[in-house]
Chain A
Amino acid sequence: VSTLLHYIAFCRTILHNRLSPKEAVKGHHMIHRFFALISLALLALMAPATAQEPLRIEIDNPNIEPDSPVQFSDWKAINAQALVTGSVSTAGDDQIVVKFRLFDVFSESQLGEGLQFVGSRAGWRRMAHKVADAVYSRITGEGAYFDSRLVYVSESGPKNARSKRIAIMDYDGANNQFLTTDQSIVLAPRFSPDGNRVIYTSYETGFPKIYVLDIGTVSRQILSDQPGTMSFAPRFAPDGQSVIYSLTTGSNTDLYKLSINGGAPQQLTSDPTIETAPSFAPDGSQIVFESDRSGTPQLYVMPSGGGAALIAFTKQNRGRFHIGVMNADGSGERLLTASFLDEGPTWAPNGRVINRANKSHKDHHYENPSNSRPACRSHGPVRLFGRAFQPKPLGYSRRRRRWRRRGWRHHHRRAGPQFGRVLQSDHRRPGAFRRRHLDPDARGPRDAGPTGRLAEHEPVLYRDHRRPCR
């Protein structure tokens, strides 16, 4: 109505006063303001009326089927961001059918197509995790990890008679199953990439040796049995066909690679120092390992081709343990946790979450030989926020990197949602923003660096920052 009145008034100004359209526009500004005031007043009158309208809900059918129409306004009212509708029903003797649909409440649209899972009654937990996986990957666009398992060392008993067993469990702790007896010390179990086998170190023979255990049959075999040696810290290659590990002969420890089907081990390092804890990059092109060749334990990357990766590691600093990640070239180190004892970081299959073993300071008090109460060690995931943790291409100049880091910190301190504002208030580089506008052609690549870098990276960072809980 306001727009229509506007238009009529504008035409009348021109006709009755015989003004040129330019003059009319000037006069029209006053009318414009007048109508704007009227519109505001109308809005002010209407606002309380809409606010007092009660929320009307009809409860007619207690069963919300996957195909029922969704009342998006109701879900918006309680700030729900996503909505899953579904049903579980039985079919036949031993079958359950799970149907579900996922909706984006704010765009009022369905995310992907409706899905149906049919499985046995005994497998209902697995199906629930499959639904969670589908929801997670549709919302985030990344691989999910709810339908995954953990392999770990279960410890029980007092500290002077601690028994250790390899065990597997579902991601949420259910379906715990012990794979070894408590007769010998076991260490560092790892899944094969297909999840069918576990590789670990056992002191069964009195010396550390590597064993491969088949989860389906719970049968195990020794991987490499060279007399007079100790082998430990095994990891599967990403293709699951070979294993890298540490082998100690005499007083020297080096890295070796061995095919899972046997054959002769291949020596990867030959240093008089200790090389251990090897791990493949996800693409299999690089190996990260620990060595004391510099005098103190440090991480090294064995270059075997290109590619960048993220390395998760444990760091001890001033009596506290940290789980951290860094780029394969050692840059971008970021500590994710700080606690009395955090160790053994492992990646979730989608590369977004790290699992680690954690022991709190309180638990430590229980861990003395006179107390029979076992120390409580828990597993817990650590989420990686932000794409800043993802592999970055190497080969940018040091100057650019410095700028990017400065941008990152600056952004964090101010936490301003407006990216342009952050740039303008950057007191360390006054004028950079303005210069870009005044003289775009003459600006050298050095000025383009900071603005270009920031513009490229910060919005991504900010977007991730806004949705930390997935």
Chain B
Amino acid sequence: VTVGFTMTPDAKPEINSIRLINAEGGTGAAVDRAYETARRAIIRCGSSGFGLPADKYDQWRGVEVKFNGVEVKFNATTKEIR
């Protein structure tokens, strides 16, 4: 899913602006679920601002995030510390 939103000058996402732009593959219900998850992630991560430089507001005022699950792998044999 590709989710678009705009940000306030203090680098917080404007919740009303979060919208689904595009979706590829998957049924309507799966798309809805992926979009809702992405929306929650954006709101939760941005609740206290993303800490972006104010002088480049033009560059990050509008954001489009493409959440692509194709390469997400779950490898149970090697445990990784992050």
A interface residues (Cβ-Cβ under 8 A, vs B): 51-63, 77-79, 87-90, 96
User: Which of A51, A59, A63, A87 has most chain B Cβ within 10 Å?
Assistant: A59
User: What is the CB-to-nearest-CB distance from B50 to chain A, in angstroms, rounded to a whole number?
Assistant: 8
Known A88-B81, A88-B82, A90-B81; judge A55-B70 contact (CB<8 A): no
- A88 surroundings in chain B (CB, below 8 A): 80-82
Taking Cβ atoms with an 8 Å cutoff, the residues of B that contact A are 4, 51-53, 56, 58-72, 78-82
Given A55-B60, A90-B79, verify A60-B65 contact (CB < 8 Å).
no
A326 to chain B, nearest CB (A): 40
Q: Are A57 and B62 in contact (CB under 8 A)?
A: no
- Known contacts A60-B71, A78-B52, A54 near B78 by CB under 8 Å: no
What are 7 A-B contacts defined by CB distance under 8 Å?
Answer: A54-B62, A55-B64, A56-B65, A59-B65, A87-B80, A88-B80, A90-B79
Partner of A61, one of B61, B72, B79: B72
Docked Cα-Cα span, A251 to B23, in Å, equals 89
Q: Tell me, in angstroms, the Cα distance from A57 to B52 when the chains sit together.
A: 15
**What would 6 more interface pairs be, CB under 8 Å, given A55-B64, A79-B56, A87-B80?**
A59-B65, A59-B68, A61-B72, A77-B53, A79-B53, A89-B78
Taking a contact as CB atoms under 8 Å apart, the answer to whether A54 and B67 are in contact is: no
Whether A77 and B59, one on each chain, are in contact in the complex, defined by CB atoms closer than 8 angstroms, is yes
Contact between B80 and A57, CB atoms less than 8 A apart: no
A52 touches B62 (CB 8 A): yes
Q: Point out the residues of chain B lying under 8 angstroms from A79, CB to CB.
A: 53, 56
- What B residues does A63 contact at CB under 8 A? 80, 82
- Report whether B52 and A77 are in contact in the complex, using a CB–CB cutoff of 8 Å: yes
A253 to B6, CA, bound (A): 74
| Complex CA distance for A143 and B3, rounded to whole angstroms | 46
Bound: A62/B81 CA distance, A: 13
Known: A62-B72, A77-B56. A56 touches B64 (CB 8 A): yes
CB distance from B68 to the nearest CB of A (A): 4
With A87-B80, A89-B81 known as contacts, the answer to whether A58 contacts B52 (CB < 8 A) is no
**How many residue-residue contacts, CB under 8 A, span A and B?**
64
Tell me, in angstroms, the Cα distance from A59 to B4 when the chains sit together: 13
Contact of A55 with B59 in the complex, beta carbons under 8 Å:
yes
Query: Closest residue to B67 on the A side, CB-wise?
Result: A59
- Residue pair A78, B81 in contact (C-beta under 8 Å): no
**Which partner residue on chain A sits nearest B71 by CB separation?**
A61
Which residues of the partner chain A approach B81 to less than 8 Å between Cβ atoms? 88-90, 96
Q: In the complex, how many angstroms separate the beta carbon of A354 from the nearest chain B beta carbon?
A: 31
Shortest Cβ gap from B61 to chain A (Å): 8
The closest CB in chain A to the CB of B68 belongs to A60
Chain B contacts of A56 at CB under 8 A? 63-66
Give Cα distance in the complex from A89 to B69, angstroms: 23
Taking CB atoms, residues of chain A closer than 8 Å to B4 are 54
Complex-state Cα separation, A51 to B58, whole angstroms: 5
B23–chain A nearest beta-carbon distance, Å? 14
The answer to whether A57 and B64 touch (CB under 8 A), given A62-B72, A77-B52, A78-B52, is yes
Shortest beta-carbon distance, B5 to chain A, in Å? 9
List the A residue with the shortest CB-CB distance to B69. Answer: A60
Smallest Cβ-Cβ distance to A124: which chain B residue: B81
**Whole-angstrom CA separation of A57 from B66 in the bound complex:** 6
Residues of chain A within 8 A (CB-CB) of B82 are 63, 88
Q: Across the two chains, which residue of chain B brings its CB closest to A87?
A: B80
Q: Which residue of A lies closest to B56 (CB)?
A: A77
A116 to chain B, nearest CB (A): 15
Smallest Cβ distance from B42 to chain A, in angstroms? 11
CA distance A79 to B58 in the complex (A): 14
Contact B63 A54 (CB under 8 A): yes
**Cβ–Cβ contact A57 & B65, under 8 A:** yes
Other-chain residue from A57, A60, A87 in contact with B63 (beta carbon distance below 8 A): A57
